[in-house]
Structure 1
Amino acid sequence: MDRKKFITNTVLLAASITSWGAFAQSYTAKAVRVGVIGIHGMGWSNLKAILRDSRVQCTALCDVDKEVLAQRVAELATQNINVTTYTDYKELLKDANVDAVIIGTPDHWHCLQMVDAVHAGKHVYVEKPIGNSIVECEIMVAAAQSRNAIVQVGQWQRSQQHFKDAVDFVHSGKLGKIRQVKAWSYVGWKTPITKKPDAIAPSYVDYEKWLGPAEKRAFNPNRFHFEFRWFWDYAGGLMTDWGVHMLDYALLGMKVSDPVSVIAAGGKFAAPDGASETPDTLTAVYEFEDFNIQWEHTVGISGGPYSRDHGVAFVGDNGTLVLNRAGWEVIPEGDRMPAVVFQKAVDDGLNKHMVNFVDAIVQQKPQILNAPIEAGAHIAIFAQLGNIAYRSGQKLYWDKHKRKFTDKQANKLLATRYHNGYSLPK
């Protein structure tokens, strides 16, 4: 390198270091300003959690339901928090007083909103599952990587200590050869929804915006707010709602990614005439080289395996480790190993997850995220494999290199069709 080029490069390097230092210092000097898109359910829970961090300020809210929006504004006002409100998320993304957004909308909106957010230069916390199809998940990863964006996914158990401790124990080899991993969610507190007649959308709801890219249908209370998760247009039922949490740890414990095959069976056994489309009872088996991962769920029943309504169990030759949000224990196989008494959860995973997100923003280090977009996409895709196997009625073989099934009919379910003038992001 000649002297002139050396001096030029040195000046550029110094400028970039100074610029980054000023950027990082600006975040330590002022709050990370957060806006929330979708403030009814988990969006509100996520906001309350992130506001426990003194480095954060809420500046904007967006929801298509004006009643919900007014309620949240009033609740924030009791804490002396004043916000700008929007009913169109694209207007919120133009707000210069928003550094990061929390996306708490139904699943079918996640892809568009997350991609638009990173293109607008915002940091993103997106609820799980990150997308409503395999192709959406892949698009979201590509968008985040193209902008080197800081995107945390709502897999908050990845920030909870006892989950990490349990996986470390699995990795120690003390359980012996693990041939079977079980993951489950038995949702006894929820009963299957009954059919309700179509109605006129409430005057305070922008129903067209709520539908977005989903197929246009008459308004029905069964498809709105919490219940959206039981319809294929918007979500994937318990498989993607709870499966992404429990199956995530099944994969982390076994240090694996893509299965060889998947088969699933179930149906609307609890309520054959109910309103939901997704199965209230399901078993899916993912085949790997020398072990299986089994998922199962029920609606309306609490009595899951090992007397737990949700969890992951690593079944080894020497013993079985059972893990859920409450803690973990090891049940020995005879006298082949000592038992490990129940190790109770000692921290709040959601709060810690938000601290991790803010740390990554302040330090400008996406690599320290506990649940980066790649991790969220991986487990959302894994759960979608099980749903597609159920919907196809076939044992499906997954080509991890081509990122598709060997079955052409099943591949038609890899992508979600967009409607109402919306298109999949490029």
Structure 2
Amino acid sequence: MTTLAATAGAASAFPKAFSIGNRQQKVIGVGLIGVNGMGWANLNSILKVSGVQCTALCDVDANVLAKRADELKSRGITPKLYAKHEDLLADPNVDAVIIATPDHWHCLQLVDACAAGKDVYVEKPLGNSIAECNAMVAAATKYGRVVQVGQWQRSQQHFRDAMDFVHSGKLGKIRLVKAWAYQGWMKSIPVKPDGPAPDGVDYTRWLGPAKQRPFNPNRFHFEFRWFWDYAGGLMTDWGVHMLDFALIGMNATTPRSIMATGGKFAFPDDAAETPDTLTTVYEFDDFTVQWEHANGIDGGPYRRNHGVAFIGNYGTLVVDRAGWEVIPEGQRMEAVPLRKSQDNGLDMHTANFIEVVRSGRLEALNAPITAGAHIANFSQMGNIAYRTGEKIYWDAKKQRFTSNAANKLLAADYRNGYRIPAV
């Protein structure tokens, strides 16, 4: 099985900058599994690439599936429709798939897709547990498939430029890296009663390997990410984006220890399970990485609601999706005014995926599965520290924590006859 250590190397480097060409090759048929939200955004982005067509859609919610099919039909696109991902994967007109289902389904669908000979663009976070991520890396390797993880900031030039500046040494010794997501638009999730699933929804299929429980609207569609059965809250939802660059900037891989504290401080009585307020500290040999998140607040560090700050002896570089700047420490260095983003990261990312599908040059992927697995596992470590209430330590040789309580959370708890694939 692929280990956390084995996935670490890709976290610290980018391939060469990517540019879109006009290569004339066969039309690539793309199928979308999970047609709501980010899946729909991914599909519309990938359809901007020349020589790509949507040949299939799949969703357990027939209502959303019909809605998206009608929207595509109005644009002259008529994909086949499926309720089960296995049927879509058997379609010979599907060359590549986008997986944008809730996190707890990613592993099963990606492994199935690789075994079926499909290339994959999978939403982040890659998996919902360390064991799942390792299984997915093993599947992509075994079947030789192209897998791009949806961490699209890796395709934005200004993030690359910011990392180059960090690596230049101009900030001096960096002792602390902060990464954060303060999301003011995320409000309280009111408690709602259980009830029947909406007509047209295959709820048993939606649950898949998760624990059997009555349908509740709070756990469905977008809100699934606030419940441990299906996802990891903001720690994995946004952490994989921002912490990814913390590691890239520091050329870092696996921490010595992790500790976390927080809770439901903003909305203690609402329906969500994951913490709305969290601070996580990752200890390395001579620096620390600190993660913060807060629902319902936009006033994050450096007046940004998300970002990464590299705090050096001479100055601090701050980067987010809008751009990057350097704030000097007194007179120790010159300021760098805000360098704004100039490109569309999602469009560059999906185009990069299609280019590699055509070329087969896995080294040209901007967010290969090894990088996606490493940062998903890194973020999962933060959640494991929070859920155990312990300062936890990773044993790289044994690929386990030194804590029994932490080790119990290495793998997602699969139910209903499902198993984490043994690849």
TM-score in terms of structure 2 length: 0.94
**Aligned partner letter, 1:122:** K
Deviation of 1:401 after TM superposition, in Å, equals 2.5
Aligned to 2:180: 184
The answer to whether the 8 A contact 2:32-2:57 is kept is yes
* Amino acid across the alignment from 2:205: K
Show the counterpart of 1:257: 253
Are positions 1:34 and 2:18 aligned together? Answer: no
Q: What amino acid is aligned across from residue 317 of structure 1 in structure 2?
A: N
Q: Which residue of 2 aligns with 1:320?
A: 316
Superposed, which structure 2 residues align to 1:63-212 within 5 Å?
63-212=59-208
Provide the secondary structure at the position in 2 that maps to 1:210.
Answer: helix
- 1:30 Cα deviation from its structure 2 partner: 2.4
Aligned position for 2:296: 300
Identity %: 65
Q: Which amino acid aligns with 2:203?
A: Y
- Does residue 335 (structure 1) correspond to residue 343 (structure 2)? The answer is no
What is the alpha-carbon distance in structure 2 between the residues aligned to residue 409 and residue 235 of structure 1? Answer: 19
Larger radius of gyration: 1
Note the C-alpha offset of 1:37.
Answer: 0.2
Structure 1 Cα separation of the partners of residues 356 and 116 of structure 2 = 18
Match of 2:365 in 1: 369
Q: Deviations over 1:269-317 (max 9, x none)?
A: 0111110000000000000000000000000000000000000000000
- The one-character-per-residue Cα deviations of 1:306-336 (angstroms, maximum 9, x if unpaired) are 0000000000000000000000000000000
Tell me, in whole angstroms, the C-alpha distance in 1 between the residues paired with 2:418 and 2:286.
Answer: 43
2:57 equivalent among 30, 55, 61? 61
Poorly superposed stretches of 4+, deviation over 3 Å:
none
Deviation string 1:355-400 (CA, Å, 9 cap, x unpaired) is 1000101111122101000000000000000000000000001112
**SS of the residue aligned with 2:397?**
coil
Question: Equivalents in 2 of 1:418, 1:334: separation in Å?
Answer: 54
For 1:291, the equivalent position in structure 2 comes to 287
Residue 417 of structure 1: CA displacement?
1.3
State the Cα deviation string for residues 102-136 of structure 1 (Å, max 9, x = none): 00000000000000000000000000001000000
Q: Indicate the residue corresponding to 1:246 in structure 2.
A: 242
Query: Which digits, 9 at most, give the CA deviation of each residue in 1:51-97, with x for residues without a partner?
Result: 00112110000000011001100111111011100000000000000
Q: Residue 219 of structure 2 aligns with which residue?
A: 223
Q: What amino acid does structure 1 have at the position aligned with 2:172?
A: G
2:270 pairs, out of 269, 274, 288, with: 274
Partner of 2:55, secondary structure, is strand
Q: Tell me the residue number matched to 1:425.
A: 421
Quote the Cα distance in structure 2 between the aligned partners of 1:28 and 1:142.
32
Match of 1:396 among 384, 392, 396: 392
- Secondary structure in 2 matching 1:183: strand
One-letter code of the match for 1:235? A
**What letter corresponds to residue 133 of structure 2 in structure 1?**
C
Corresponding residue for residue 48 of structure 2 = 52
Partners of 1:104 and 1:333 lie apart in 2 by 43
Query: Contact 2:234–2:293 (CA<8 Å) still a contact in 1?
Result: yes
Instruction: Provide structure 2 residue ranges, at least 5 long, that are not aligned to the other structure.
Output: 1-22
CA contact (8 A) 1:232 1:278 kept: yes
Contact 2:316 2:329 in 1 (8 A): yes
**For residues 40 and 341 of structure 1, what CA distance do their matches in structure 2 show?**
38
Distance in 1 (CA, whole Å) between partners of 2:234 and 2:396 is: 24
Q: 1:190 Cα deviation (Å)? A: 1.1
Residue type of the alignment partner of 2:265: F
Within the alignment, does 1:387 sit opposite 2:386 as a pair?
Answer: no
1:192 touches 1:280 (CA, 8 Å); kept in 2? no
Taking CA–CA contacts closer than 8 Å with sequence separation of 6 or more, which of the two structures ends up with the larger relative contact order?
Answer: 2
Tell me, yes or no, if the aligned pair for 2:281 and 2:290 is still in contact at 8 Å: yes
In structure 2, C-alpha distance between the alignment counterparts of 1:419 and 1:212, rounded to whole Å:
8
Higher alpha-carbon deviation: 399-408 or 228-237 = 399-408
- 1:356 corresponds in structure 2 to 352
CA shift in 2, pair 1:60/1:306, >3 Å? same
In structure 1, the partner of 2:14 is none
Q: Of Structure 1 and Structure 2, which has the larger fraction of its residues in helix?
A: 1
User: In 2, Cα distance between the equivalents of 1:291 and 1:399?
Assistant: 19
Q: CA deviation at 1:402?
A: 1.9
Contact 2:25 2:51 in 1 (8 A): no
Residue equivalent to 2:19: none
What is the one-letter code of the residue matched to 1:353? Answer: H
Counterpart of 1:271, as a letter, is: F
SS of 1:246's equivalent?
Answer: helix
Give the CA deviation at 1:220.
Answer: 0.1
Q: Give the Å deviation of 1:28.
A: 3.9
Aligned residues: 400
Indicate if the aligned counterparts of 2:34 and 2:100 stay in contact, CA closer than 8 A.
yes
How far apart, CA to CA, are the structure 2 residues paired with 1:392 and 1:212?
Answer: 26
